Amino acid sequence: MKTWIALLLALCLPFAALANEEEKKEGEEGAAPKVAYYNLVPALVGNFGPGPKLKFFKADIALRVTGTEAEEAVEYHEPLIRNQLVMLFSQQTEESVGSQEAKEALRQEALKQVQAALNQETGKPIVEDLLFNNLIIQ
């Protein structure tokens, strides 16, 4: 009788292991995608505005993406993203970056341009948000 029980247990163990492995896979598939912040390093630095006196900007920017594929796509297209942002910043005037509301409008425009560039390249906007970690205008 003991041998029958031992034999029955030995036959059931592989099935228990398979069931446990399937539960793990379902848990991984149902898990929320990982949100990541991709920092554009080094910071964007340049000049802006018309006139004889040069004005400078320095922007530390982070891009929020979801999933490792999106993070890899942003890393791959970083030169394009940096170009879009430098061109946008260089077109600004003192009035367009002088107040908090103006800086927020600039952030929203930067996000739109990054999403448009990535949408053109990949077919998806990929970046969910653009954040200024630091924005210095002088």
Please give, one letter per residue, the 3-state secondary structure of 104-118. HHHHHHHHHHHHHHH
Q: What is the pLDDT of residues 63-100, one digit of tens each?
A: 999 999 999 999 999 999 999 999 999 998 888 888 89
CA 12 to each of CA 19, 25, 44: distance values in angstroms, whole numbers, following the listed order: 11, 20, 61
pLDDT (0 to 100) of residue 79: 96
Query: For the chain, what percentages of helix, strand and coil (3-state, to nearest 5) are there?
Result: 55, 25, 20
> What CATH architecture is 35-137?
2-Layer Sandwich (3.30)
Least confident interval from 1-5, 15-19, 124-128? 15-19
For the chain, the structural domain boundaries read: 1-31, 35-137
* pLDDT higher than threshold 80 for residue 51: no
Residue 16 confidence (pLDDT): 53
Structure confidence at residue 28 (pLDDT): 55
Q: Lowest mean pLDDT: which of 16-20, 52-56, 132-136?
A: 16-20
pLDDT recorded at residue 8 = 47
Residue 15 above 90 pLDDT?
A: no
Residues 127-136, mean pLDDT to the nearest whole number: 94
Check residue 77 and give its pLDDT: 96
User: pLDDT tens across 33-47, in order?
Assistant: 899 999 999 999 999
- Going by pLDDT thresholds of 50, 70 and 90, the confidence category of residue 21 is low
Name the 3-class secondary structure at 100.
Answer: helix
pTM summary value? 0.74
